[in-house]
Amino acid sequence: MAFKPISLKKYLKIHLNSNPSMKEATVKKALKDALKTYKDGKRCSCGNDIWVIGAAFVGNKCFTCITGESYPTDDYELKDAIKKRPSTAGRKHIDEIPPKKIAGFFDDDGYEVNLDLIKNLLYV
Protein backbone atom coordinates (compact mmCIF):
# COMPACT_ATOMS: atom_id res chain seq x y z
CA MET A 1 0.00 0.00 0.00
CA ALA A 2 0.99 3.62 -0.25
CA PHE A 3 -0.18 7.03 0.85
CA LYS A 4 -3.54 8.24 -0.38
CA PRO A 5 -2.93 11.62 -2.03
CA ILE A 6 -5.17 14.42 -0.81
CA SER A 7 -5.38 18.15 -1.40
CA LEU A 8 -4.73 20.56 1.43
CA LYS A 9 -8.32 21.79 1.25
CA LYS A 10 -9.83 18.29 1.51
CA TYR A 11 -7.48 17.26 4.30
CA LEU A 12 -8.32 20.41 6.29
CA LYS A 13 -12.01 19.55 6.08
CA ILE A 14 -11.41 15.98 7.33
CA HIS A 15 -9.02 17.09 10.07
CA LEU A 16 -11.31 19.83 11.37
CA ASN A 17 -14.30 17.45 11.40
CA SER A 18 -12.29 15.07 13.59
CA ASN A 19 -10.78 17.86 15.71
CA PRO A 20 -13.47 20.57 16.02
CA SER A 21 -11.61 22.44 18.77
CA MET A 22 -8.70 23.24 16.42
CA LYS A 23 -8.63 26.48 14.45
CA GLU A 24 -8.49 26.18 10.66
CA ALA A 25 -5.85 28.91 10.30
CA THR A 26 -3.55 27.17 12.80
CA VAL A 27 -3.85 23.76 11.10
CA LYS A 28 -3.41 25.26 7.64
CA LYS A 29 -0.27 27.14 8.70
CA ALA A 30 1.21 24.02 10.33
CA LEU A 31 0.60 21.97 7.17
CA LYS A 32 2.04 24.66 4.89
CA ASP A 33 5.11 25.01 7.13
CA ALA A 34 5.65 21.23 7.11
CA LEU A 35 5.22 21.14 3.32
CA LYS A 36 7.81 23.90 2.91
CA THR A 37 10.18 21.99 5.19
CA TYR A 38 9.64 18.87 3.07
CA LYS A 39 10.27 20.78 -0.17
CA ASP A 40 13.42 22.30 1.35
CA GLY A 41 14.74 18.73 1.67
CA LYS A 42 14.53 18.33 5.44
CA ARG A 43 14.56 14.68 6.44
CA CYS A 44 13.66 12.70 9.51
CA SER A 45 16.53 11.88 11.88
CA CYS A 46 16.44 8.31 10.45
CA GLY A 47 17.12 9.66 6.95
CA ASN A 48 13.68 9.17 5.37
CA ASP A 49 11.52 11.95 3.94
CA ILE A 50 9.24 13.56 6.48
CA TRP A 51 5.52 12.73 6.45
CA VAL A 52 4.06 16.21 5.95
CA ILE A 53 0.66 15.54 7.54
CA GLY A 54 2.21 13.94 10.63
CA ALA A 55 5.14 16.36 10.79
CA ALA A 56 2.74 19.30 10.93
CA PHE A 57 1.64 18.14 14.38
CA VAL A 58 4.51 16.19 15.95
CA GLY A 59 7.68 17.53 14.34
CA ASN A 60 9.84 16.65 11.36
CA LYS A 61 9.61 12.87 11.38
CA CYS A 62 8.82 10.22 8.78
CA PHE A 63 5.73 8.02 8.74
CA THR A 64 7.53 5.09 10.40
CA CYS A 65 9.06 7.17 13.20
CA ILE A 66 5.71 8.82 13.93
CA THR A 67 3.46 5.76 13.74
CA GLY A 68 5.83 2.83 14.28
CA GLU A 69 4.37 1.19 11.15
CA SER A 70 6.56 0.04 8.25
CA TYR A 71 4.55 1.65 5.49
CA PRO A 72 1.28 3.52 5.09
CA THR A 73 -1.99 1.71 4.54
CA ASP A 74 -4.78 4.08 3.67
CA ASP A 75 -3.00 7.02 5.32
CA TYR A 76 -3.20 10.47 3.76
CA GLU A 77 -0.35 12.60 2.49
CA LEU A 78 -0.62 15.96 0.76
CA LYS A 79 -0.47 15.64 -3.03
CA ASP A 80 2.44 18.08 -3.21
CA ALA A 81 4.53 15.84 -0.94
CA ILE A 82 4.13 12.58 -2.83
CA LYS A 83 7.11 11.83 -5.01
CA LYS A 84 6.67 10.32 -8.42
CA ARG A 85 8.22 6.86 -8.09
CA PRO A 86 8.44 3.86 -10.35
CA SER A 87 5.48 1.54 -10.13
CA THR A 88 5.68 -1.21 -7.53
CA ALA A 89 3.01 -3.27 -9.31
CA GLY A 90 3.91 -6.93 -9.23
CA ARG A 91 6.69 -6.43 -6.68
CA LYS A 92 6.39 -7.93 -3.21
CA HIS A 93 6.81 -5.77 -0.13
CA ILE A 94 8.99 -7.21 2.61
CA ASP A 95 6.08 -6.99 5.09
CA GLU A 96 4.00 -9.26 2.83
CA ILE A 97 6.58 -12.09 2.82
CA PRO A 98 6.70 -14.69 5.60
CA PRO A 99 9.86 -13.99 7.65
CA LYS A 100 11.40 -17.41 6.93
CA LYS A 101 11.05 -16.83 3.18
CA ILE A 102 12.70 -13.40 3.02
CA ALA A 103 15.75 -13.53 0.77
CA GLY A 104 17.37 -11.28 -1.80
CA PHE A 105 17.52 -7.53 -2.08
CA PHE A 106 14.97 -4.85 -1.26
CA ASP A 107 14.86 -1.14 -2.07
CA ASP A 108 14.58 1.59 0.58
CA ASP A 109 10.78 1.33 0.46
CA GLY A 110 10.84 -2.41 1.23
CA TYR A 111 10.05 -3.74 -2.26
CA GLU A 112 11.91 -6.66 -3.84
CA VAL A 113 14.61 -5.76 -6.34
CA ASN A 114 14.84 -8.01 -9.39
CA LEU A 115 18.58 -8.22 -10.06
CA ASP A 116 17.93 -9.57 -13.57
CA LEU A 117 16.50 -6.18 -14.53
CA ILE A 118 19.49 -4.16 -13.30
CA LYS A 119 22.09 -3.43 -15.96
CA ASN A 120 25.60 -4.48 -15.14
CA LEU A 121 27.32 -1.12 -14.75
CA LEU A 122 30.69 -2.61 -13.80
CA TYR A 123 31.56 -3.35 -17.42
CA VAL A 124 30.38 -0.14 -19.07
The pTM score is: 0.65
Residue boundaries of the structural domains of the chain = 4-81, 94-123
Sign of the Cα pseudo-torsion (118, 42, 62, 80, in order): negative
Alpha helices in 1-124 (DSSP H): 8-18, 24-39, 52-58, 63-67
Name the residue type at position 42: K
pLDDT in tens, the chain (124 residues): 588 999 999 999 999 999 999 999 999 999 999 999 998 888 888 888 899 999 999 999 999 999 998 888 889 999 998 875 555 567 788 888 999 999 888 888 888 887 766 655 555 4
Which pLDDT score, from 0 to 100, does residue 86 have?
54
Which pLDDT score, from 0 to 100, does residue 78 have?
95
Which pLDDT score, from 0 to 100, does residue 107 have?
82
Which pLDDT score, from 0 to 100, does residue 105 have?
85
Pairwise CA distance, residues 107 & 93, whole Å: 9
